[in-house]
């Protein structure tokens, strides 16, 4: 037994050092929030200086980011922020629509009065952010509202699946948060009303249309090559 464990231990995958993970997380967030834009050339030395680290953890992070689909590493050219294709967006946002629809249905079945009150608070946060034109706050509010619906749904498997697509959904949503904002937050009102009534079918339908409209808006954004500015 001891020999078997010793042999197994020699094959263990080393846990990533905290610095490596921190650099990876920081670069991911810079991509999601648009500080690093699709197609932008990523220079290791510049990123290392910006983050206050050596180039080694940056290099390792870029390799991981390529694997995760955030970065493209091109031979003899270097690293570039990945530019999502229309097909990639359609696939991810399509899966998100199915998951979110089910989440809304379950939330309508489970919601308590205090949950409805919290949804109202999150809705107001989004409306206030939209009025101020604060994109970062607007995206955070949208993420928080959808995440709370998922928490009310009380399905751990569903929550895990939504978490897997959550970062890229936030990435796709950031450029359209302002132009899509008024319509999106009006749709949230209808969603909250359906959940408050305990109408699972209606909540699911509202969420399905809501996520599909967001997907359509994003695809049109890609096709036009326009930005939020």
Mean per-residue pLDDT over the chain, rounded: 90
Query: Which run of H or E residues covers position 80?
Result: strand 78-81
Beta bridge partners of 223: none
- Does the reported pTM lie above 0.85? no
Beta bridge partners of 41: 80
- Least Cα distance to 98 among 145, 196, 165 occurs for 165
Q: pLDDT, tens digit, for every residue of 101-140? A: 999 999 999 999 999 999 999 999 999 999 999 999 999 9
Query: Once rounded to an integer, what is the mean pLDDT over residues 133-149?
Result: 95
- Decide: 27 and 65 in contact? Cβ < 8 Å: yes
In Å, what is the CA distance from 225 to each residue of 175, 183, 219?
A: 11, 21, 10
Query: Once rounded to an integer, what is the mean pLDDT over residues 175-200?
Result: 96
Percentage, residues of the chain above pLDDT 90: 82
Q: pLDDT, tens digit, for every residue of 34-64? A: 999 999 999 999 999 999 999 999 999 999 9
The vertex-177 CA angle with 99 and 219, nearest 5°, equals: 65
Q: pLDDT, tens digit, for every residue of 1-11? A: 445 434 444 44
The reported pLDDT for the residue numbered 3 is 52
**Cα(134)–Cα(33) distance, rounded to whole angstroms?**
12
């Amino acid at each position: 037994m001891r020999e078997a464990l010793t042999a197994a231990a020699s094959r263990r995958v080393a846990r990533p050092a905290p610095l490596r993970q921190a650099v990876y997380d920081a670069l991911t967030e810079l991509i999601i929030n648009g500080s690093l834009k699709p197609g932008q050339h990523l220079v290791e030395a510049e990123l290392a200086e910006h983050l206050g680290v050596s180039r080694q953890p940056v290099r390792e992070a870029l390799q991981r980011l390529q694997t995760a689909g955030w970065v493209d590493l091109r031979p003899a050219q270097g690293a570039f922020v990945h530019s999502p294709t229309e097909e990639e967006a359609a696939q991810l946002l399509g899966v998100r629509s199915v998951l979110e629809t089910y989440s809304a249905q379950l939330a309508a079945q489970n919601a308590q009065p205090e949950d409805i009150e919290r949804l109202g608070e999150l809705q107001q946060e989004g409306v206030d952010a939209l009025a101020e034109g604060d994109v970062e706050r607007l995206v955070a509010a949208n993420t928080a509202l959808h995440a709370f619906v998922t928490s009310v749904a009380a399905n751990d498997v569903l929550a895990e699946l939504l978490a897997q697509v959550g970062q890229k959904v936030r990435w796709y949503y950031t450029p359209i948060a302002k132009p899509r904002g008024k319509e999106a937050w009006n749709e949230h009102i209808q969603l909250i009303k359906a959940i408050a009534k305990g109408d699972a079918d209606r909540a699911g339908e509202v969420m399905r249309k809501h996520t599909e409209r967001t997907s359509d808006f994003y695809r049109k954004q890609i096709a036009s090559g326009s930005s939020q500015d």
